Amino acid sequence: MALKLNNLKKLLIDNYNTIRENGATEKESADGMANAIVEYSKDAEALIPTPFLLPPVLPAPPVPDLSVVGTKVKVVGHEAGKAALSSAIQSSYKAMDPSFSIIAGAIAAYVATFVSYKDNLPVPKTITGTTLIPPPALVSITPIGMAGGSVEDVMSTTAKIIHASFMAGTVTGTGLNPSAGATFPAPVVAKLV
């Protein structure tokens, strides 16, 4: 599926409007923002840029499995860090953090919980490793809100910044493709998409 900016924008705007119209506690607001980010991130995939390895026939070295190059594997377990993300967002609200640095760090920490990726084949291609993104530079949304920007303006900019951080992300670990016989763990650095 891949990550979609417009999906995140819609989720953030809907959350803000729901809170504004119905009233909400800080916790409900934080839960709503966390839910929007988690819902958006369920579509994250790792784009495999290099071959995995087929086991060697000794004494030869492993043989590259080129069938995986350019394929994508979907994140598994994207909800694992949801409670911690919500708690950190709530902490940012309580601290009245104008730079949103607590939220930025929490988003990066949340993405670090993405440790497993696989496709939907009966014998799936997999990547197991660490996912890293740069913390989103959310400080630039404060002036928009302070200048009277609309909910759409603020949430659109928020979504663009968060999406840009996700798109700069990498997944570093090992990959396997048992369906092609690539059962020898291969190092991989994949792009988050």
- Per-residue pLDDT, 5: 97
Q: Give the domain ranges of the chain.
A: 5-192
pLDDT tens-digit readout, 100-137: 999 999 999 999 999 999 998 888 999 999 999 999 99
pLDDT tens-digit readout, 36-90: 999 999 999 999 998 888 887 888 888 888 999 999 999 999 999 999 999 999 9
Does pLDDT of 179 surpass 90?
A: no
Does pLDDT of 146 surpass 80?
A: yes
Does pLDDT of 1 surpass 80?
A: no
Does pLDDT of 182 surpass 80?
A: no
Please list, residue by residue across 118-143, b when 16 or more beta carbons sit within 10 angstroms of its beta carbon and e when fewer do. Answer: bbeeeebbbbbbebebebbebeebee
- Nearest-5° angle of CA 68, CA 73, CA 78? 160
For the record, the structure tokens of 120 come out as: 């939907």
Does pLDDT of 158 surpass 80?
A: yes
pTM of this structure: 0.93
CA distances from 98 to 94, 102, 137 (A): 11, 10, 12
Per the DSSP assignment, residues forming a β-bridge with 171 are 131, 190
